[in-house]
Amino acid sequence: MPTVFDVTTWTHSTNPSITCYTDIGALINDIIARIKQDQPNQASKPGAVIYIPPGDYPLKTRVTVDISYLTIKGSGHGFTSSSIRYNTADTSDWHEVWPGGSRIKVENTDGRSEAFLVSRTGDPRLSSVVFKEFCLDGVGFSPHQNSYRNGKFGIKVDTANDAFRIEGMGFVYLEHAVMVRDADALNISGNFMAECGSCIELVGSGQASKVTDNLIGAGYVGFSVFAEQHEGLLLAGNNIFPRGRSSVHFKNVNRSSITANRLHAFYPGMIDFEGVNKENLISGNHFRRDVEPWAPMQSYGNGKDDLYGLIHLRGDNNLVSTNLFAFNVAAGSVSPSGATPVIIRVESGDANHISNNRAVSNVAATRVLLSSTSTATKVLDSATASEFRADTQNHTFRATP
């Protein structure tokens, strides 16, 4: 009983005209049906591998994954910049114009928006589904190629799950690269996720998950990394580049870590906390904020101004320590005009702790700003007296000498 399937050699069970070159989605669904047929016994369902060799494969039909232990694997994340190409007048003499590797062109004609939907009801939760080393390419945005909109999802996991892995993948030109609901011990590592509306969206809830060692950069409309109601999420060792509306967005996330990452953005609100977020650690990160240098994108932004803070904290007992901020916005580009930009803004919450940070700025900047509703923040060695602003008396401040 085979458990390794190659999309290029699989014959569709009912309609041989469906191949990986006509509709890899329908073909993979057929393989999954066969795997289920081959593994009817509750006591032995080890799953399988579906292999996608390098090639260009259109996906017309959504794949639905509803078995545990399925690995879908290619040989090449295949990223290239579609954004540069779409913004180049003449590419007629280019060597190649599209992404490559094991490349699925997400072209749903089935009325669905997902290339891969992972979903199953009943018990147990789906476990150990793996996506590895292939390319999901949304091909184009609409109404224009710089909109980051097309409604397409690369991978959407819609029911609770355990021990999933998304590794070594490439994602490009999808409105949503990866959205995972209710994750437990999820691992997203070693991926190349760029030029997507949003890259990683961890929705619903989640725990004990890991986003590590990725290269990530969303569009101005979306999130590079979004997490909601997660506990114990570890974001470490990522290089997150522009131009997401934020680099990391937490919504009611508790006891999670953002450590040892490099973050680069063209807008304020690089780490953006929404709702109430408690006891999170932000340490050992490098933040670079400068101004959009590329003409095709200069008309876009995230709608936030420079008083918002590179870090915008809402919540209690968070620790922000040992980060380096490098702020570089020409005085004339600061918004609102004439404002003093803010590096760390404690917008709300109790007992946040800001210590041992260093911020470099080309203009006068408020290193730490405490809003009037924040309480009991401690700010130690993170700003000189003149770099600090508190709109409340309820705080502790030790100036950087």
Binding marks (x or -) toward a copy of itself, 98..127, rule CB under 8 A? Answer: xxxxxx----------------x-xxx--x
Secondary structure class of 334 (helix, strand, coil): coil
Token digits for 306?
Answer: 């420079």
> In this complex, which beta carbon is closest to a copy of itself, that of residue 112 or of residue 192?
192
> In this complex, which beta carbon is closest to a copy of itself, that of residue 112 or of residue 209?
209
> In this complex, which beta carbon is closest to a copy of itself, that of residue 185 or of residue 305?
185
> In this complex, which beta carbon is closest to a copy of itself, that of residue 130 or of residue 365?
130
Query: Using CA atoms, how far apart are residues 350 and 318, in angstroms rounded to an integer?
Result: 9
> In this complex, which beta carbon is closest to a copy of itself, that of residue 112 or of residue 370?
370
Contact 319, 343 (CB under 8 A): no
Binding marks (x or -) toward a copy of itself, 187..206, rule CB under 8 A? Answer: x-xx-x-x------------
Nearest in space to 198 (alpha carbons), one of 182, 170, 217, 180: 217
> In this complex, which beta carbon is closest to a copy of itself, that of residue 43 or of residue 385?
43
Query: Using CA atoms, how far apart are residues 198 and 245, in angstroms rounded to an integer?
Result: 9
Q: Does 208 bind a copy of itself (CB under 8 A)?
A: yes
User: Rg (Cα) of the chain, in Å, rounded?
Assistant: 23
Query: Using CA atoms, how far apart are residues 86 and 152, in angstroms rounded to an integer?
Result: 18
The distance of Cα 226 from the centroid of its chain, to the nearest Å, equals 6
Window 331-390: residues binding a copy of itself (CB under 8 A): 351, 353, 355-356, 358, 360, 378, 380-381
Q: How far apart are CB 125 and a copy of itself at their closest, in Å?
A: 8
Q: Which of 283, 335, 340, 392 binds a copy of itself (CB under 8 A)?
A: 283
Query: Using CA atoms, how far apart are residues 388 and 395, in angstroms rounded to an integer?
Result: 12
Window 143-162: residues binding a copy of itself (CB under 8 A): 162
> In this complex, which beta carbon is closest to a copy of itself, that of residue 56 or of residue 114?
56
> In this complex, which beta carbon is closest to a copy of itself, that of residue 112 or of residue 346?
346
Q: Which of 34, 255, 304, 389 binds a copy of itself (CB under 8 A)?
A: 255
The number of beta carbons lying within 10 Å of the beta carbon of residue 298 is: 11
> In this complex, which beta carbon is closest to a copy of itself, that of residue 189 or of residue 340?
189
| Binding range to a copy of itself, per CB under 8 A, among 10-18, 22-30, 268-276, 280-288 | 280-288
Query: Using CA atoms, how far apart are residues 46 and 35, in angstroms rounded to an integer?
Result: 10
Residue 254 has what DSSP assignment? Answer: B
Contact 397, 390 (CB under 8 A): yes
Window 51-80: residues binding a copy of itself (CB under 8 A): 53-56, 67-69, 71, 73, 75-80
Nearest in space to 114 (alpha carbons), one of 44, 179, 29, 31: 179
Window 21-50: residues binding a copy of itself (CB under 8 A): 42-49
Cα 64-69-71 angle, rounded to 5 deg? 70
Q: Which of 149, 159, 260, 304 binds a copy of itself (CB under 8 A)?
A: 260
Q: Does 210 bind a copy of itself (CB under 8 A)?
A: yes
* 15, HSE (Cβ side, Cα atoms, 13 Å): 12
The dihedral sign for the CA sequence 217, 115, 202, 186: negative
> In this complex, which beta carbon is closest to a copy of itself, that of residue 357 or of residue 366?
357
The dihedral sign for the CA sequence 117, 99, 217, 238: positive
Burial of 95 (0-12, 13-18, 19+ CB in 10 A): exposed
End-to-end CA, the chain = 71
> In this complex, which beta carbon is closest to a copy of itself, that of residue 155 or of residue 265?
265
Q: How far apart are CB 305 and a copy of itself at their closest, in Å?
A: 23
Q: How far apart are CB 198 and a copy of itself at their closest, in Å?
A: 19
Helices and strands (H and E) in the chain: how many: 2, 41
Q: How far apart are CB 299 and a copy of itself at their closest, in Å?
A: 23
The number of beta carbons lying within 10 Å of the beta carbon of residue 62 is: 21
Number of chain residues interacting with a copy of itself (CB under 8 A): 110
Q: Does 97 bind a copy of itself (CB under 8 A)?
A: yes
Window 222-251: residues binding a copy of itself (CB under 8 A): 232-234, 236-239, 241
| Binding range to a copy of itself, per CB under 8 A, among 140-148, 278-286, 291-299, 336-344 | 278-286
